[in-house]
Amino acid sequence: MPYRIFCLAFICCLLFNEKSKATDFDFTPNLQKAYAEVFKLRVQSGRELLSKESIKNPFRVYVEDYADMVELINSENEAIYNKWSSREDERLELIEGLDEKSPYNRFLRAEIKLHWALIKIRFGHEVKAGYNVIQAYKLLEENQKLFPNFLPSLKSLGCLHVLIGSVPDKQRWIPKLLGLRGNIQLGMNELRLVAKDKVWGTEAKFCTTFIQAYVLKFDAKQNAEMLQFADSQSDNLNINMVATAISLKDNRTEQAVELLKKTPKDAAYLNFPIFELYKAETQLFKGNYPQAVTSYQNYLRIFKGQTFLKDTYYKLFVCNWLMGDDKKAKLYLSKINEGGSTVAESDKAAQKFYENFQKSKTLPNKTLMKLRLLFDGGYFEEAQQELITLTEKNFSTPKDQAEFNYRAGRIYQKLNQFDKAANYFERSVALTGTQDWSFAPNSALQLGYLQQQKGQKNKAKAYFEQAIAYKNHEYKTSVDNKARAALTEMGY
């Protein structure tokens, strides 16, 4: 769930923990504690601590803004958004009028602009959000030039450098025109530098973990580091939430189950409905469809926003369809088109699934769906047992054949049978041709990784560029980001 996690990831990288020598800026121990509470998603206790501080203290202003962002992104409450939207300019004006010689002046203003960029994206104001990001970037860049040893700027610039650096080649003229400089390696180096610092290390490491999982490659070593990080912060709901999401994304269902058992659950924490989706995913991958349905329905009951609604209806369709209840399955299928946003890639994919069904009136192949769920859950040996009885000839349409080859390739790749995996990926690419199915770009991406692993840089480069060249598939953003990151890593 890349979009939700992207929003939550920024929460980690937006504060610091040292007093300025300037008299206007006083980050008191009480404010530091308030920040820590909000970072852990204990928002109400954080707000109670803030109430003890002067309303003109810029750090109180900042942490209040941070808390607002967490609540708005989590709730997607339109009425509260409209009520609070004036706070952005009020807070920026207050901080701008303080000591301009302090590096905290520009830094805090940039962070507030980033807060509201994320909020505006959540509420569908992408253009306004873009202006916020540009303004924040320029404030941070100016701050870095004026105060080159000021680590908080590096922390936030690192995130932006990675995000801007992952823009596909054909769109890179846009940030250049706007004066935005992106470089994935530079951004990661900046974040790693700050991660070593005892003051800002936790936030920077959080960001690094997220970027590694969602933009770069995430391997067993990084997974072990993530688990160690989560264990060291056992009372931090924020870190637990992201670790659970990454585990599900990285085909580690049993690991996600264990993390969910460790999730801090007392009333001090803000309630995050997304945990119902995490629970549902673990049950879906295990084949426990009735339990998955219960958690998906809980999400619909609890959450009043628009994100992941389409994906949830799609998953409810899948569960009922695999249980043999076609009538209920098609009811949920129809609901995909009735509401929800398409900001998240999973919601885009659900909407595209609905539209394709409306055109073809054909449901997917159940065997392929079960293969996909076994793979997504990390049950690779079980998936291989299913594969043993199948060949491309078991599927009647080119699309199903292309999907079968992609699924088989991914399963054998996870089982370290790389040559076999490559053959399946190549076949999937050939069967896809010029169709806008996602199997070819994803296969090309994996072929690039396989060649990169062998040290065949030129072949890897060709596959990554091929992956980027595909258009109009629902996973274009993530495929392009990963291919671009791999090319950068190899020096292209």
Question: What 3-state class would DSSP assign to 374?
Answer: helix
Region 31-56: what's the mean pLDDT? 94
Residue range 235-271, pLDDT digits in tens: 999 999 999 999 999 999 999 999 999 999 889 999 9
| Cα distance between residue 247 and residue 245, in whole Å | 5
| Cα distance between residue 475 and residue 467, in whole Å | 11
pLDDT exceeds cutoff 90 at 166: no
pLDDT exceeds cutoff 60 at 31: yes
For residue 301, count CB atoms less than 10 angstroms from its CB and return exposed for 0-12, middle for 13-18, buried for 19 or more. exposed
Name the more confident of 119 and 203: 119
Band of pLDDT at residue 291, cut at 50, 70 and 90: very high
| Cα distance between residue 402 and residue 273, in whole Å | 36
Region 361-389: what's the mean pLDDT? 93
Residue range 208-229, pLDDT digits in tens: 999 989 888 888 999 999 999 9
Angle between helices 201-214 and 151-165 (to 10 degrees): 10
pLDDT exceeds cutoff 80 at 17: no
Band of pLDDT at residue 5, cut at 50, 70 and 90: very low
Region 22-40: what's the mean pLDDT? 85
Helices and strands in the chain, H and E counts: 27, 0
Region 155-160: what's the mean pLDDT? 90
What pLDDT, on a 0 to 100 scale, did the predictor assign at position 314?
97
Band of pLDDT at residue 16, cut at 50, 70 and 90: very low
Band of pLDDT at residue 14, cut at 50, 70 and 90: very low
Region 385-390: what's the mean pLDDT? 92
Q: Indicate the average pLDDT of the chain.
A: 89
Band of pLDDT at residue 202, cut at 50, 70 and 90: confident
What pLDDT, on a 0 to 100 scale, did the predictor assign at position 475?
83
What pLDDT, on a 0 to 100 scale, did the predictor assign at position 477?
81
pLDDT above 90: percentage of residues in the chain: 71
What pLDDT, on a 0 to 100 scale, did the predictor assign at position 105?
95
Answer positive or negative: Cα dihedral of 412, 413, 415, 416.
positive
pLDDT exceeds cutoff 60 at 275: yes
Cα–Cα distances in angstroms (integers) from residue 483 to residues 44, 165, 249, in the given order: 41, 12, 17
pLDDT exceeds cutoff 60 at 173: no
Residue range 86-95, pLDDT digits in tens: 999 999 999 9
What pLDDT, on a 0 to 100 scale, did the predictor assign at position 152?
85
What pLDDT, on a 0 to 100 scale, did the predictor assign at position 169?
58
What pLDDT, on a 0 to 100 scale, did the predictor assign at position 12?
41
What pLDDT, on a 0 to 100 scale, did the predictor assign at position 6?
44
Band of pLDDT at residue 177, cut at 50, 70 and 90: low
Region 116-124: what's the mean pLDDT? 92
The model's pTM: 0.85
Of 440, 436, 448, nearest to 485 (Cα)? Answer: 448
Region 408-421: what's the mean pLDDT? 96
Residue range 277-286, pLDDT digits in tens: 999 999 999 9
Q: Which alpha helices (DSSP H) does 215-363 contain, by range?
A: 220-232, 237-249, 253-261, 274-286, 289-302, 309-322, 326-335, 345-360
Range from 173-182, 188-197, 236-245, 337-346 carrying the lowest mean pLDDT: 173-182
Name the more confident of 345 and 350: 350
